[in-house]
Structures are given as structure tokens and as C-alpha cells.
Structure 1
Amino acid sequence: MDSEVGTPKQSVNEHTSLPTNDAMPQSAMPIVGIGASAGGIEALGSFFDAMPPDSGCAFVVVLHLDPKHESEMAHILSARTAMPVAQVREGMPVERDHVYVIAPDTELRVQEGKLRVSRPSTSRGPRHPVDVLFASIASSKRERAIAIVLSGTGNNGSQGLREIRAEGGMSLVQAPETAKFDGMPRSAIAADMADHVLAPEMMPEVVLRYVRHGYVAAPA
């Protein structure tokens, strides 16, 4: 586990370039799953402010939402990135350099390059939609799976990180001292499931280094 909160940010141009997006086969596209709840909107904004729009990754965001109200999350994130941002609909294909946001009162999975939406598996008690997403990305993308846990309460995401790492992917966790609510980050750290512990604005640099490494960037 690395703690890099104080590490000076480097220019993304210092790293070896990825193949062009057109040249990269779809099977080689990394998917970044991001889970958050309370305090997550601010953390997501900081992350996407720092993430270049042409990383070659797809981003899938699960945020705990009020199940009885329409979400404005896609609109909010559109102001923080030049990438297209959409609320997920059943069967949407996952495309590189796009951001997908979960709809209220749903669970979200990535399967065979598409986004699958279902009703929550439990109607009562704690729900763990972040774990559901992470597990599906781990199974679909293996070493090209990247999971990020941001601000939130409870332990949602910790089990999903275990599956991401078991398949050879990478996990990043928000540094608790930078989170408005540190329950989810602290749970992941206590479970020893964090490859990197960082402030959200420092995470894109680590993601870019990872996806440009030969282990991930080689053709599938």
C-alpha cells in the first residue's frame, strides 16, 4: 500500500503515450469503477478535474442516491470533465473516454462490454451496489480492472476491492483525512485492500501510470 497524498503531481506528458484510442482494441480498454456515498460528489469532482479526457479508459460511477428522486449526477459531473457523461440505461455499450453514472434504486454490472441494470437484490437492510459493480468489473476485465473507493459511510466497496485484486487489477482508496466521511475508505484500508491511498486529485496520475504499463497496455 502506498501513501502518496503529499507527492507532487507530475505532468501526464512525462509518461509514455498509450496507443491511439482508435488503434486500441475494445478488449484492451481498462474500466475504472468508482464507488462513493456521503461526501462523494466533492471527491468525484476533484478526481475528474484532474483526469485527462483521453486516457483510453471508461469510467463507471456508483453513488448512493435517493431512490425516490431523479439524479442530477450526470449533469454535475459533465461540468467537471470534457468526457461525455451519461446516466446508465440497460444494455448501453461501454466506450472508452466516457463516464457512466448509476441510476437511482438500481444495481449496475459490466458484462460482455455492456452495462446491465437491475433492481437491488435486497429490498431491506444495507445494500452494497459498489461491491456489485467492482465484482463485475473484476470478472470482465481482470488486470484491466481499476477500482476506486471515495468518501462514504459503512463498508461498501471493501469486498469488491478484494475481487478486483484477486483478478490482478488495481485498487485506490481516498485518504481518510481528505474525505468528508471516512467510513468507506477506512474499511477498505483496514481490510488491507488498498494498493494506493491518495487524495482524489492525485489518483488520475496513478491510473495513467498503471494503464500505460506493459502489463495492461499490451493487446488482450
Structure 2
Amino acid sequence: MSALHANVYAELLAGRTIDAVVIGASAGGIDALLRILPALPKDFGFSVTVVLHLPDDRDSRLADVFQQRLAMPVRQADDKMSVAPGTVYFAPPGYHLSVERDFSFSLSQEDPVHFSRPAIDILMESAADAWGKRLAGILLTGASADGAAGMARIAACGGLTVVQDPKDAEIATMPLAAIRLHAPDAILPVPAIGALMTAMMENQ
């Protein structure tokens, strides 16, 4: 990490305590996540919960695929499961994933949001209500406006908001929608997002 980048991350994280990270992505998201998550150390201290837009009609192997590449434990989120630090969770297909005030997950089959279930907005908005200013939200590549409202809610609750640089995204629609709705704290390419996540841990 260069001294310049380290200074930028220090400014972003100054006075912040992060307890949890939520990430949203759609088209191109698996590739972006494979460039971010495997670099996280085994002792990464925060929960990381991910919503990727998935087809409803098939089982997800995301937890298995990423577990083979990550030092951290990886699980598919389930109803009533407690959110544990140091764990990566993926939303299951066909269900909206929410975080309750007691930091447990809940699943629902309410109507799709932006034609998606799971929806990024639902995860991010509920996580913002649960963790408030101790939450970091990251929005990556995608082809819809899902996640824009969720990122705005995180910002309104005092959390940290990071959007993938649209020029770096496979599909720029999702990052652009978030930037237009509410200016994020940082707009970064994927390698810098990974470095920022590592800096979050070092900042504690």
C-alpha cells in the first residue's frame, strides 16, 4: 500500500469504528468479489454480508466457491442465524435477506425489488438500521439501480459508503445510480476497495 493511498484510507476511517460490512453487486460481481475477498486475512474482524443478484430457480454454490479461496469462514445466510464477526455470508437465491436489530438474519419472499430477490437495498437498509454509523456499505458493478437507496440509508445513518468507480466496473449502471442519488464517501477501483477493507481492520 502506497503512502498516498494509506493517507486516503486513514482520512476515510478517521474517528470511525466499523463492526460490519455489507456488499452489493450484480452483473460482473463475482469477478469483482474474487479480486477483493480472497485478500482478506483470516483474522479479519468484521462480518461481511454479500447480496449478489441470482436466478431464483437454482441453488447457489457461492459459499462453497468462495470458501475454497478465502481464509475466513464463508456461509450461506439462513433465517434466524446470528451474524458472527470474522465471517463472510452470502444471501441465498429467491429470498430477501435482512438484518434484525439483534444482529440476526431474517429471510422473506416479499415482492422483488428492482426485479431482484434478494435485493441489495433490503439488506443495506436493514443493516443500516441495525449497525448505524458502525456499518460500511460497498456497492460494486451491476445493471440496475438496486443498492442506490440502500447506500443512501447507510449514509443517513452515519455509516461509511464506498462505490466502485464506474470506469472500473464491468457494468456501470449500478455504481452510477448510487452516485447520482447520494455522493458516497469514496469512489474507488476494485483493488483500492480491497486495500480499504484491510485498512478498516488495521484502524481498529
TM-score normalised by length of structure 2? 0.85
User: CA 1:45–1:125 in structure 2 vs 1: closer, same or farther (change >3 Å)?
Assistant: closer
Q: Which residue of 2 aligns with 1:23?
A: none
Question: Is 1:142 the equivalent of 2:132?
Answer: yes
Q: What are the ranges of 5 or more consecutive residues in structure 2 without an aligned counterpart? A: 11-16
Segments of 4+ in structure 1 off by > 4 A? 6-10, 210-213
State the secondary structure of the residue aligned to 1:126.
coil
- Match of 1:71? 60
Asked if residue 118 in structure 1 is aligned to residue 108 in structure 2, the reply is: yes
Q: Does 1:99 align with 2:92?
A: no
Which residue matches 2:29?
40
The equivalent residue for 1:24 is none
**Which of the residues 179, 197, 202 maps onto 1:207?**
197
Q: Quote the offset at 1:166 in angstroms.
A: 0.7
2:167 alignment partner, SS class: helix
The answer to whether the Cα contact below 8 Å between 1:153 and 1:181 also exists between their aligned partners in 2 is yes
2:151 is the alignment partner of 1:156: no
Larger RCO (alpha carbons 8 Å, 6+ apart):
1
Matched to 2:145, the amino acid is N
Deviation at 1:165, TM superposition (A): 0.7
Q: Structure 1 49/199 Cα, relative in aligned 2: closer, same or farther at 3 Å?
A: farther
Percent identity, aligned pairs only, is 31
Contact 1:144-1:211 within 8 A present in 2 as well: no
- 1:187 pairs with 2:174: no
Larger CA deviation: 150-159 vs 122-131: 122-131
CA distance in 2, matches of 1:143, 1:137: 10
Aligned CA RMSD, in angstroms, stands at 2.3
Cα deviation, 1:155-209, whole Å, max 9, x if unaligned, reads 1000011110111100111111221111101111222332111122211332344
TM-score, length-normalised on structure 1? 0.79
Q: Which runs of no fewer than 5 residues in structure 1 stay unpaired? A: 1-5, 16-27
User: In 2, distance between residues paired with 1:192 and 1:131?
Assistant: 14
